[in-house]
Structures are given as C-alpha cells and as structure tokens.
Amino acid sequence: MARRFIVEADGGSRGNPGPAGYGALVRDAETGETLAEVAEYLGTATNNVAEYKGLIAGLRAAYALDPAAEVRVRMDSKLVIEQMSGRWKIKHPDMRPLAAEAQGIVPPGQVSYEWIPRENNKHADRLANEAMDAGKRGERWRPKVPPGGTLAPGAPEAAAPADDALAEPAATGAPAVGWGSADLGTPATFVLLRHGETPLTPEKRFSGSGGTDPALSDVGRHQAERVAAALAARGTIQAVVASPLRRCRETAEVVARRLGLDVRVEEGLRETDFGAWEGLTFAEVKERYPDDLDAWLASTEVAPTGGGESFATVTRRVALARDKLIARYPARTVLLVTHVTPIKTLVRLALGAPPESLFRMELSAASLTAVAYYGDGNASLRLLNETAHLR
C-alpha cells in the first residue's frame, strides 16, 4: 500500500503586501508523526503569494519523502483550497504560475485538498511566523524536525545569516539548513550548457530573445559536437532541456542525438529580451542610449531601451523555471541548454550572491556550469565556465 501523508501549510504577510513568509509540514497520516518542517522568509509579498509558496514547499517536502505517497493537503486558505481543487477560477495573473507549479509536483491522482479552520492549522502558522521573525532579524529559519522524523534530543536550532536579497527568489523555494543536515539523498543536478557560437557571438553583440534568433555558426556547430562527445564520455546526463531559441535548440539536438535522448523545450530558459539593443555592441549602445545604459547597469529593475526585460524580471522567470524543473526531475542529472543571463542567474541564486554579481562572471560559448539542488533547499555550485572539452 502507498504511504499516506498530510501536508499542512500556511503563509502570511505583515502588511499585505509586506514582510511575508510561509510554513509547512508533512505528517504521517497513520501515526500523526511530523516527518518534515519547512519555512521561509519571502521578503515583500502578499498573503496569497505566501500561502501558495507554503503549499508548494509542503508538496515538495512530501514528494521528497516518498514520490508514490498519497497526499492530503490541509490549509485554512479557502482561496488556495478551492482553486487547487478546481472549483474556483484562478483570476489573478500572479497566482496562475504558482498554482501551475504546485500542480506539477505531485501527480494529480495522488493529491487531494481540504479546508480546515485556522485554529486547526496552528503548527503551519507558527512556522510561517518563525520564518518572518527570522527574516526580520536578518537570519534564515532553521528546521526543528529534519526530513524523515522528529528532532533528536539536544539538536541545535541555530540560524544562519541571511543574504542581501531576501526579497528575491530563494535558492529553491525551501529553507537552507546548513552543512550539518541529515543525508538528503541524491540531489537534482542541472548541468548548464551555454549554446555554441552564432555569427553575433565573436562580435560581442547583444543577442537576446527579442532579436533575429540567429542559428549556430560553423564554429558553434563544431563546439556542440565537442561538448556532446565530452558529455557522452561522462555518461551522467539523464534528460535534456533547452531554451526555445534556435541556437539553444540546435546545440541541444546535437548533444541529445549523441546521448540517445529527446529534447524538451522550457520557455523560462530563454535569454533576456534586450529591446532596442538587440544586435548592437556595448559601445554602440553606450553611444546611442547612454542614459538608458547607465540606468540599466545601476539597477536590476531597469529594462533596456524599447521595452526589453529587466534583470529582475528575468530572475523571476528563471527561478520559476528552475523550480518547475527541480520538481520534474528529482534526483536526476539534467542538461539545460540555455544562455548567459539564465546561467548567471541560476549561479547567483544558488550562492545567494547580490545582483551585481551578474556582471562579475564570465561564461564562454559552449561552456559547462553545474548546480546541485538538495531536498532541504540547499544548492551547491559544482562547476563554473568549464571549457576543457573545447581545447
């Protein structure tokens, strides 16, 4: 018989929007034992966003314990329960991707939803408030219950310093617990491959998702063959996912063909839309749009001239794609064929580095970077801009 779990989740915002956090736990449905606790400070968010984040974290924790388990979700949010049960439409655009993310974690036939009164959801509410209190102190929340069972007597509950970007997406949407955590099993590992060269690459021109969508050059195709051979020799890649842009799909197809795999396209992995800067060099942008360029370099909230995407917008998109892929490929090694900005963003989020770190990383064409994501929310950078296969 399949195991049965109960997920209790809650989220709150002190201001709506305001400082927000979520809490969730997984119980054994037979014994009532708490098997896992998760919580996180989200920075500024609304109540509804925090509640959905709590649901997502709770489902992830249950899935990590047993992917085949039957899950009963209990929350005091009528909105979330009715929307996830399919009885209410999801009208707010901010809620739709969160609901879609939650739906993709546990197979639909294994999960059900139940509304409970607030007084019956005190455990999850307490976790959410603990996370918000920790965030206010500049700390990260730490679990009292490790994945799989109750806290051992005398186990520490220390908090780690938070990074400077608490209002941005966290490493995986779950709390980090430090080096002393229990064995959390095989992580989801993303091997990040920047596409091969296009005619624009050696000229260092802005080439995003709003331009001409160039194909690989002869050099780029050769690079793709070289990286395919290197990855085939390693024999670790289990799936291939690519940005929808042509240069990534072409690179991915070369590698996948060598590995005997199919290519799955993920829209969230596309490059930044650079607006009116598409096809221009940095010097040309500086000459034509000096004020816009200075503003863009000074703030991640500023978009390029002509309606492009800000780095903050790209960060939210990439973080959502990351979370979807972690849920889709637990404990697997997946090749993500993408672009400079998405790769740098994944590295930055994994390290908890500030936004300006995007300008302090070098990523060569057809280079490999790797990040591992563990069940407790920790991320580990394992490789950056590796190009030995091209020599």
User: How would you class 144 by CB atoms within 10 Å of its CB: exposed for 0-12, middle for 13-18, buried for 19 or more?
Assistant: middle
Nearest C-alpha neighbor of 237 from the set 252, 224, 225, 223? 252
Q: At what angle do helices 122-136 and 47-65 cross, to 10 degrees?
A: 110
Decide if 56 contacts 73 (C-beta within 8 A). Answer: no
Neighbours of 17 (CB within 10 A): 15
Neighbours of 294 (CB within 10 A): 12
The reply to whether omega before 17 is within 30° of 0 (cis) is yes
- How many Å apart are CA 117 and CA 106, to the nearest integer? 24
Which residues carry out catalysis? 195, 271
Nearest C-alpha neighbor of 57 from the set 78, 36, 29, 77? 36
Q: Which helix (H) or strand (E) holds 70?
A: strand 70-75
